[in-house]
């Protein structure tokens, strides 16, 4: 029998016919279909019991209440707590991404020490002994004031433990990271005589006039502001935005007025001039509850005539007059300021100008206005005993120059630190503790900051992540992330009522990390003497529970405690100035430098364009690096691949010969970067904008190397009145790549 | 090759066939080979393929449902219970077993293994679940058992009357248990619990005219189970 081609073909045909009569093809098709729907990289939800833990988000100072959903032992989702006074069930994109910050690859998993430029894991005991040894040395040499600490807040148990450590050790150099909070607090202090927390009753207002504030882009407590804006719109209220760029807030407002950048404060004074001239101000407030009005009246009428303001801002005179009339005519108008998300302090003069505008319409300490909330008062630890070394150290002037001389009202001046360190022969800071901050990314002119950090012999980072500051530190003592620890959140930024949030552990710590509060207590106890005596707590959790005392049970159950007895009107008599009134002018205010619009740093002839940063809810604006969910959610007009887009007006682009989505080189006095052009009609000609929050050099592959860091291209500008960084942009040029 | 050449070749083939003689023809071997192919593939498809497709794994611990059923009061729901929020607990966790099995009970080897390897070490038993559906399927036990008043047997069969756990046969391609497609490779079913495929779900849903659309979105068809 010959096996030829025909035999073979008939075998194959027989085989095919037979196969069709078996389940094989149908079963394989079905299995392959199921297989292709269940790729191994497709995330599969955990199976198990669903539970919820109430906690507070710490990813920004917004103080949102969160309900963390777990399946079994795994965190699967973060939701807002329904009925929570701040966010009422809402949560922002960063808050939603919280689980990625817990399980992501960028956690520092154990204490680390840098040896010859390489990280080595060390034990907690060794790490603390090393710091205690170094601090002991400095103290015995009378150099205790060369210990400094950078922290994101100065309220709440952890910041206050750090501050206490510095005090009993003998250093006045506790520094809070800067934000608009600094200027708002100063404005309240200078006009109302109170050291208070600013609150904004956005929900009850019927006209919000925003001087560049990103009300729906992270300003204040983001979710509360979203809700406030919605409430305002539902009630038929009005929101006007003054900003050189069509931000999301501007796009959602009723009227957007693009003034020349930097002249927002002048416009506020011009509006005040119209309101006073037309007699539209609230007489009851100005005459009965305010002082120094006549000097203020003279100041605005002399220097801020309609014509001058029109020329300065680029707005037509009738527009300014109409705006002033509408604002003063509203029932509960509220003016707010602080650009974007408010991460950069800005100029005190602008804040005062806007604050006075609120005072003119009586929107101080009333529903729908700006409120001076009492500082949280639950931390009443017995005063730590200071020995001779501590007293001597505390009498030294602050390294950053805050609180004395020309900046006597300012409390903290982190922006001045790099220059002080860089210009000294030996660094005046010998040991630097950094908690809840990433100055190497977030401070202007990052190169100068990095140089200063190199000069400091011992930099200790308490970050949970390998961020820029951790990468440049000598020791990392990783904190638990917020889903692994207890902590208090002493207020919600911009929220109009005193509120305390409790951060509760949701899962057991994943790695060999330790609560910064515990680390401070242990460090103090290792140092012995009066320093140890001031930290007699058994653990941080014990200290927290003791501090919150009668509020503890409420906090555990609800996740927050709100001062229900607080009312806006009860605050009305609480001006603590010499006159016991709201002061439009006094010796401190009069001593401030004459008002002028802040000019941005850089030489105009070399750098004809104005580069401004913008904030977006799709990028983290605090010290936390954006998790992958956020970066993925960015529009391709912000980030395309690793390329960042710079917003340019088509007219500007035409002049410079630049085309849409093509590469260009963005240069400032501090450096240059390759960017792509995004032609955007919503930005003023001559002004260009880039997002804040990109261009990380540290972190993981999901964030590092994407885009450009605005802070690396920019430089600080010391405000003559406060010493805070007043720069809102930087001069730049764009050339074809 | 020209048309002429082709024509020549065909006629040459015809001659070859003629030479082979009538009757014998190519029909014989061709039929034989056809049958060989047919039978071979039938054997492959019906006998060899199912054996290749599934792997056999023993459960980590042998478990006697009958024995346990005698000890508990609430039938299946004693261990496979509904949580307060209506979700279904599924295969019990160690925490439940520990209520009774804190230490070795009786003399069974499996019991000793269970207590020593899992209970004392606090490790969950990695049970292999015969009825685990692909992740793209949404299924609510409470909707069927409590609201639909169905009993466990309808879908799971007489598991409660088993004295040992059968080997778990995992589909090497999809990774899921053989019990989803059904033991019968042809997909034939004789009892309601023989298969757990999509058609088996829709069979009842269509027959009893229940939930033809998604409860949440009111959209029909796929959205009932594929959310």
d(CA A27, CA A29): 5
Q: Please tell me whether residues A364 and A397 are part of one structural domain.
A: no
Helices (H), A278-411: 283, 293-303, 306-313, 317-329, 348-360, 388-394
> In this model, does residue B2 exceed pLDDT 60?
no
CA-nearest residue to B226 within chain A is A37
d(CA B2, CA A472): 80
CA-nearest residue to A48 within chain B is B89
Closest by Cα among A517, A513, A500, A421 to A465: A513
pLDDT of B21: 43
Q: Is B187 on the interface with A (CB under 8 A)?
A: yes
Lowest mean pLDDT across A516-525, B52-61, B91-100: B91-100
Q: How distant, in Å, are the alpha carbons of A78, A349, A558, A592 from that of A582?
A: 43, 17, 37, 17
- Is A209 in contact with A328 (CB distance < 8 Å)? no
The string of pLDDT tens digits covering residues B99-141 is 889 888 888 899 999 999 999 998 999 999 999 998 888 899 9
Q: Please tell me whether residues A329 and A237 are part of one structural domain.
A: yes
Kindly report the average pLDDT of chain A as a whole number: 94
Which of residues A368, A400, A434 is at a domain's end? A368
**Cβ partners under 8 Å of residue A273, min gap 6:** A300, A301, A304, A305, A306, A309
Q: Please tell me whether residues A385 and A360 are part of one structural domain.
A: no
> In this model, does residue B11 exceed pLDDT 90?
no
Residue A464 lies in a domain: yes
Mean local confidence (pLDDT), A7-23: 93
d(CA A442, CA A710): 9
A208: β partners: A239, A334
Tokens 């022969």 -> residue: A425
Tally the domains of chain A.
4
> In this model, does residue A152 exceed pLDDT 50?
yes
* Cβ contacts of A31 on chain B, cutoff 8 Å: 53, 171, 173-174
- Is A475 in contact with A110 (CB distance < 8 Å)? no
The string of pLDDT tens digits covering residues A220-234 is 999 999 999 999 999
Mean local confidence (pLDDT), B69-73: 90
* Cβ contacts of B27 on chain A, cutoff 8 Å: none
Q: Please tell me whether residues A14 and A124 are part of one structural domain.
A: no
> In this model, does residue A28 exceed pLDDT 50?
yes
Q: Please tell me whether residues A128 and A260 are part of one structural domain.
A: no
d(CA A317, CA A402): 40
Q: For an interface test with A, which of B13, B16, B41 has the most A Cβ atoms less than 10 Å from its Cβ?
A: B41
The string of pLDDT tens digits covering residues A157-197 is 999 999 999 999 999 999 999 999 999 999 999 999 999 99
pLDDT of B5: 53
Mean local confidence (pLDDT), A690-709: 94
Residue A570 lies in a domain: no
In angstroms, how far apart are the furthest CA atoms of chain A? Answer: 122
Residue A151 lies in a domain: yes
Do the Cβ atoms of B33 and A14 come within 8 Å? yes
Q: Please tell me whether residues A265 and A396 are part of one structural domain.
A: no
Which of residues A368, A393, A412 is at a domain's end? A368
Residues across chain B: 227
d(CA A614, CA A597): 20
Query: What percent helix, strand, coil does chain B show, rounded to 5?
Result: 45, 5, 50
Q: Please tell me whether residues A214 and A344 are part of one structural domain.
A: yes
- Is A678 in contact with A660 (CB distance < 8 Å)? yes
pLDDT of A303: 87
Residue A282 lies in a domain: yes
* Cβ contacts of B87 on chain A, cutoff 8 Å: 49-50
Residue A597 lies in a domain: no
Q: Is A32 on the interface with B (CB under 8 A)?
A: yes
CA-nearest residue to A26 within chain B is B186
Which of residues A368, A388, A407 is at a domain's end? A368
Per-residue b or e along A459-478, where b marks 16 or more CB atoms closer than 10 Å to that residue's CB: bbbbbbbbbbbbbbbbbbbb
Lowest mean pLDDT across A192-196, A349-353, A433-437, A618-622: A618-622
Q: Please tell me whether residues A717 and A617 are part of one structural domain.
A: yes
Angle, CA of B34, B39 and B43, to the nearest 5°: 150
d(CA B77, CA B74): 6
Q: For an interface test with B, which of A21, A22, A42 has the most B Cβ atoms less than 10 Å from its Cβ?
A: A22
pLDDT of B20: 45
**Cβ partners under 8 Å of residue A431, min gap 6:** A131, A134, A135, A138, A146, A147, A148, A456, A457, A458, A459, A460
Q: Give the SS3 label for residue A671.
A: strand
Residue A601 lies in a domain: no
B77 secondary structure, DSSP code: G
> In this model, does residue B18 exceed pLDDT 50?
no
Mean local confidence (pLDDT), A201-224: 95
Q: How many helices (H) and strands (E) does chain B have?
A: 10, 2
Q: Please tell me whether residues A335 and A305 are part of one structural domain.
A: yes
Dihedral of CA atoms A491, A493, A496, A499 in degrees, nearest 10, equals -20
The encoded tokens of residue A480 equal 């638990």
Q: Give the SS3 label for residue A677.
A: strand
pLDDT of A1: 63
pLDDT over 90 percentage in chain A: 89
pLDDT of A569: 64
pLDDT of A592: 82
pLDDT of A690: 97
d(CA A349, CA A522): 44
Residue A101 lies in a domain: no
Helices (H), A591-731: 628-632, 650-656, 710-713
Kindly report the average pLDDT of chain B as a whole number: 86
Residue A558 lies in a domain: no
Do the Cβ atoms of A27 and B181 come within 8 Å? yes
Mean local confidence (pLDDT), A3-19: 91
CA distance A731 to chain B (A): 52
pLDDT of A414: 96
Range of the domain at A282: 202-368
Give the gyration radius of chain B's Cα atoms: 28
Q: Is A508 on the interface with B (CB under 8 A)?
A: no
Helices (H), A464-538: 468-472, 516-527, 529-533
Confidence band (pLDDT; 50, 70, 90) for A427?
very high
d(CA A613, CA A245): 10
Q: How distant, in Å, are the alpha carbons of A155, A405, A487, A558 from that of A503?
A: 15, 39, 5, 11
Spatial strand order of the sheet with A499-503 comes to A487-489, A499-503, A560-562
pLDDT of A573: 57
Q: For an interface test with A, which of B16, B21, B30 has the most A Cβ atoms less than 10 Å from its Cβ?
A: B30
Closest by Cα among A732, A692, A713 to A340: A692
Q: Is A12 on the interface with B (CB under 8 A)?
A: yes
pLDDT of A600: 85
Q: Please tell me whether residues A414 and A278 are part of one structural domain.
A: no
Q: Phi and psi dihedrals of B154, rounded to 5? A: -50, -40
d(CA A632, CA A627): 9
Dihedral of CA atoms A309, A314, A317, A322 in degrees, nearest 10, equals -100
> In this model, does residue A338 exceed pLDDT 50?
yes
Q: Give the SS3 label for residue A557.
A: helix
Q: Please tell me whether residues A224 and A305 are part of one structural domain.
A: yes
* Cβ contacts of A15 on chain B, cutoff 8 Å: 37-38, 40-41
- Is A232 in contact with A202 (CB distance < 8 Å)? yes
A735 secondary structure, DSSP code: E
* Cβ contacts of A18 on chain B, cutoff 8 Å: 37-42, 44-45
Confidence band (pLDDT; 50, 70, 90) for A239?
very high
> In this model, does residue B151 exceed pLDDT 70?
yes
B81 secondary structure, DSSP code: P
> In this model, does residue B197 exceed pLDDT 50?
yes
The string of pLDDT tens digits covering residues A569-607 is 655 557 899 999 999 999 888 888 877 777 888 888 899
Lowest mean pLDDT across A253-257, A278-282, B28-32: B28-32
CB–CB contacts below 8 A, A to B: 110
Mean local confidence (pLDDT), A202-227: 95
Do the Cβ atoms of B37 and A16 come within 8 Å? yes
Return the CATH number at A151: 3.40.50.740
Q: Please tell me whether residues A250 and A316 are part of one structural domain.
A: yes
> In this model, does residue A442 exceed pLDDT 70?
yes
Return the CATH number at A695: 2.40.40.20
Lowest mean pLDDT across A297-301, A450-454, A504-508: A297-301
Q: Is B34 on the interface with A (CB under 8 A)?
A: yes
Count of C-beta atoms within a 10 Å radius of residue A487: 25
Do the Cβ atoms of B45 and A49 come within 8 Å? no
CA-nearest residue to A39 within chain B is B174
ipTM above 0.85, yes or no: no
> In this model, does residue A249 exceed pLDDT 90?
yes
d(CA A359, CA A369): 9
Helices (H), A510-564: 516-527, 529-533, 540-548, 552-558
The string of pLDDT tens digits covering residues B19-42 is 444 444 455 788 999 999 999 999
Q: Is B87 on the interface with A (CB under 8 A)?
A: yes
DSSP string, A599-616: PPSS-TTT--EEEEEE--
pLDDT of A101: 96
């Amino acid at each position: 029998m010959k096996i030829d081609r025909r035999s073979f073909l008939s075998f194959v045909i027989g085989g095919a016919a037979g196969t069709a009569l078996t389940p094989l093809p149908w079963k394989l098709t079905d299995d392959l279909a199921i297989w292709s729907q269940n790729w191994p990289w497709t995330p599969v939800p955990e199976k198990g019991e669903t539970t919820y833990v109430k906690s507070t988000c710490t990813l920004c100072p917004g103080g949102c209440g969160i309900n963390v959903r777990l399946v079994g032992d795994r965190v699967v989702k973060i939701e807002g707590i329904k009925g929570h006074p701040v966010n009422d069930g809402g949560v922002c994109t960063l808050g939603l991404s919280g689980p990625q910050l817990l399980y992501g690859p960028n956690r520092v998993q154990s204490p680390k020490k840098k040896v010859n430029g390489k990280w080595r894991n060390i034990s907690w005991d060794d790490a603390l002994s090393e710091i205690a040894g170094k601090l002991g040395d400095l103290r015995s040499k009378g150099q205790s004031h060369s210990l400094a600490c950078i922290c994101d807040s100065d309220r709440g148990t952890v910041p206050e433990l750090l501050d206490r450590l510095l005090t009993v050790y003998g250093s006045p150099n506790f520094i809070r990271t800067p934000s608009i909070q600094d200027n708002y607090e100063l404005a309240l202090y200078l006009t109302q005589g109170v050291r208070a927390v600013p609150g904004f009753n956005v929900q009850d207002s019927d006209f919000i006039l925003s001087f560049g504030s990103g009300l729906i882009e992270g300003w204040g407590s983001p979710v509360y502001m979203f809700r406030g804006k919605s409430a305002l719109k539902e009630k038929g209220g009005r929101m006007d935005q003054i900003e050189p760029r069509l931000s999301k807030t501007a796009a959602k407002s009723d009227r957007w007025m693009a003034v020349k950048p930097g002249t927002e404060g002048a416009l506020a004074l011009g509006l005040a001039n119209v309101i006073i001239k037309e007699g539209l101000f609230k007489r009851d407030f100005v005459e009965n509850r305010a002082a120094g009005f006549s000097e203020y009246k003279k100041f605005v009428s002399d220097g801020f005539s309609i014509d001058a303001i029109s020329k300065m801002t680029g707005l037509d005179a009738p527009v300014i007059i109409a705006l002033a009339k509408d604002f003063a005519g509203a029932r509960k108008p509220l003016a707010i300021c602080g650009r974007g998300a408010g991460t950069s302090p800005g100029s005190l003069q602008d804040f005062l100008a806007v604050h006075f505008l609120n005072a003119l319409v009586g929107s101080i300490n009333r529903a729908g206005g700006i409120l001076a909330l009492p500082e949280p008062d639950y931390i009443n630890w017995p005063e730590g005993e200071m020995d001779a070394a501590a007293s001597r150290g505390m009498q030294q002037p602050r390294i950053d120059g805050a609180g004395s001389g020309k900046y006597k009202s300012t409390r903290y001046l982190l922006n001045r630190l790099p220059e002080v360190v860089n210009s000294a022969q030996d660094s005046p800071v010998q040991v630097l503790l950094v908690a809840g901050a990433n100055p190497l990314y977030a401070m202007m002119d990052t190169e100068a900051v990095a140089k200063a950090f190199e000069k400091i012999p011992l930099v200790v980072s308490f970050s949970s992540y390998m961020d820029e500051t951790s990468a440049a530190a000598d020791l990392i003592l990783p904190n638990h992330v917020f889903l692994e620890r207890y902590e208090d959140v002493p207020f919600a930024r911009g929220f109009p009522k005193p509120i305390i949030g409790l951060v509760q552990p949701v899962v057991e710590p994943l790695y060999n990390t330790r609560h910064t509060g515990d680390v401070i207590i242990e460090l103090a106890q290792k140092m012995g003497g009066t320093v140890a005596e001031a930290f007699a707590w058994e653990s941080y959790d014990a200290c927290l529970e003791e501090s919150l005392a009668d509020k503890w049970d409420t906090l555990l159950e609800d996740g927050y405690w709100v001062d229900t007895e607080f009312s806006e009107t009860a605050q009305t008599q609480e001006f603590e100035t010499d006159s016991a009134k709201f002061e439009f002018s006094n010796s401190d205010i009069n001593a401030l430098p004459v008002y002028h619009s802040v000019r941005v740093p850089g030489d105009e002839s070399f750098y004809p364009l104005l580069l401004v940063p913008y904030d977006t809810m799709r990028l983290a604006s605090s010290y936390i690096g954006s998790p992958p969910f956020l970066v993925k959610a960015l529009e391709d007009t912000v980030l395309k691949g690793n390329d960042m887009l710079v917003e340019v007006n088509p007219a500007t682009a035409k002049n410079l010969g630049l085309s849409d989505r093509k590469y260009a080189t963005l240069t400032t006095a501090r450096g240059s970067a390759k960017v792509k052009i995004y032609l955007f009609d919503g930005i003023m000609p001559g002004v260009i904008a880039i997002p804040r929050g990109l261009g990380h050099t540290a972190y993981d592959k999901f964030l590092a190397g994407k885009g450009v860091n605005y802070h690396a291209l920019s430089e600080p500008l010391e405000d003559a009145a406060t010493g805070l960084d007043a720069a809102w942009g930087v001069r730049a040029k764009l050339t074809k790549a | 090759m020209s048309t002429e050449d082709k024509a020549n070749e065909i006629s040459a083939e015809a001659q070859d066939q003629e030479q082979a003689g009538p009757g014998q023809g190519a029909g014989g071997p061709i039929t034989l080979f056809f049958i060989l192919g047919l039978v071979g593939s039938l054997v492959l498809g019906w006998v060899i393929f199912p054996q290749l497709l599934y792997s056999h794994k023993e459960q980590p611990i042998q478990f006697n449902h009958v024995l346990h059923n005698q000890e508990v009061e609430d039938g299946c729901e004693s261990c496979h219970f509904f949580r307060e929020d209506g979700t279904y607990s599924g295969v019990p966790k160690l925490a439940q077993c520990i209520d009774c099995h804190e230490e070795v009970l009786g003399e069974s080897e499996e019991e000793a293994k269970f207590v020593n390897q899992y209970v004392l070490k606090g490790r969950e038993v990695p049970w292999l679940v015969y009825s685990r559906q692909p992740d793209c399927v949404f299924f609510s036990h409470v909707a069927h058992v409590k609201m639909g008043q169905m009993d466990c047997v309808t879908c799971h069969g007489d598991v409660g009357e088993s004295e040992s756990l059968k080997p778990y046969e995992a589909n090497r391609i999809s990774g899921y248990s053989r019990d989803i497609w059904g033991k019968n490779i042809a997909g034939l079913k004789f009892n309601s619990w023989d298969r757990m495929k999509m058609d088996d779900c829709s069979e009842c849903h269509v027959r009893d005219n229940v939930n033809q659309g998604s409860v949440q979105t009111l959209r029909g068809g796929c959205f009932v189970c594929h959310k």
